């Protein structure tokens, strides 16, 4: 059954947060991989746990789910394959205001896991609002063919530019970032010329600081440590 309204896309920060996975099979393993990649502290509760899970950096408790324990976690995923258990976990979590996802059970979810393409710090997520996970995965794979590894370098360079603007007393809001991306920058990164790409970002940043009356030297070749990170020797990113 489709959702009555569209879901609200967010990117959760799970680094160091306690998360519970109820279930110990292959589906649970896939959910655990995503949580660990996000830095979560994962506890797995299931009477039987496959070896692939037991070998991960997770806390494993070989037992059944205990009523009410979902309330002790920031986020819960249930993947037991047993509707009665999964719904019990959902009810506990939902009553305590804890986010919960149930594998292949949309009514038992307070959030939906999209299909994701990752390129360094960049994530592109595709969701069908639970109507067809297969379609979301198919679209994800098509997007992956278009979004190459160079996007990770672009994100790094733009992050450095934001830091340089702030250290120079400028704001990052309202800047013509699209102008920078539509210029030679993307082509330079795609060609592997990261040194010239950094120089292009530094020139753009200096112009922006000068235009807003900030300290343009913060982005210049002989400027602050932030500028050196953009243009200095050894900062090619190769």
Find out whether 78 and 22 touch, Cβ atoms under 8 Å: yes
Q: Which CATH class is domain 18-113?
A: alpha beta
Joined together, the tokens standing for residue 156 give: 């790094």
For the cut 60, the answer to whether the pLDDT of residue 237 exceeds it is: no
Pick the CATH number of 114-147 from 3.30.1340, 3.40.50, 3.30.160, 3.30.450: 3.30.160
Q: Per residue in 70-83, pLDDT tens?
A: 999 999 999 999 99
Cβ atoms of 71 and 98 closer than 8 Å: yes
Q: What is the DSSP letter of 184?
A: I
In tens, the pLDDT along 189-228 reads 999 999 999 999 999 999 999 987 744 444 444 344 344 4
CA–CA distance, 4 with 132 (Å, rounded to integer) = 15
Mark residue 16 as left, alpha or beta (left: phi above 0; alpha: psi -120 to 50; beta: remaining). left
> Quick one: average pLDDT of 96-107?
91
How many residues comprise the chain? 238
User: Rounded to the nearest 10 degrees, how much is the dihedral formed by the CA atoms of 204, 238, 117, 53?
Assistant: -140
* Closest alpha carbon to 71 in 111, 112, 100: 100
Q: What's the confidence (pLDDT) of residue 169? A: 87
User: Which tens digits make up the pLDDT trace of 107-125?
Assistant: 889 999 999 999 999 999 9
Topology match between the domains 18-113 and 114-147: no
Instruction: Give domain limits for the chain.
Output: 18-113, 114-147, 150-231
- Confidence at 5, pLDDT banded by 50, 70, 90: confident
pLDDT score of 229: 45
**Strand, helix or coil at 231?**
helix
């Amino acid at each position: 059954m489709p959702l009555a309204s569209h879901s609200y896309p967010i990117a959760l920060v799970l680094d160091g947060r306690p998360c519970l996975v109820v279930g110990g099979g292959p589906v649970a393993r896939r959910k655990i991989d995503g949580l660990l990649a996000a830095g979560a502290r994962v506890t797995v509760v299931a009477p039987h746990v496959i070896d692939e899970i037991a070998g991960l950096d997770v806390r494993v408790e070989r037992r059944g789910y205990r009523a009410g324990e979902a309330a002790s976690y920031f986020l819960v995923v249930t993947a037991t394959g047993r509707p009665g258990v999964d719904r019990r976990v959902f009810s506990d979590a939902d009553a305590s205001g804890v986010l919960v996802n149930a594998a292949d059970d949309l009514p038992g979810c307070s959030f939906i896991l999209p299909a994701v393409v990752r390129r360094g710090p960049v994530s592109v997520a595709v969701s069908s609002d639970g109507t067809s996970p297969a379609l979301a995965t198919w679209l994800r794979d098509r997007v992956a063919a278009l979004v190459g590894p160079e996007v990770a370098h672009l994100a790094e360079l733009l992050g450095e530019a934001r830091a340089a603007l702030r250290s120079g007393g400028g704001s990052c809001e309202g800047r013509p970032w699209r102008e920078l991306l539509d210029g030679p920058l993307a082509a330079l990164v795609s060609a592997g010329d990261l040194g010239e790409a950094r120089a292009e970002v530094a020139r753009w940043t200096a112009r922006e600081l000068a235009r807003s009356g900030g300290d343009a030297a913060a982005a210049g070749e002989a400027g602050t440590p932030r500028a050196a990170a953009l243009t200095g020797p050894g900062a090619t990113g190769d």
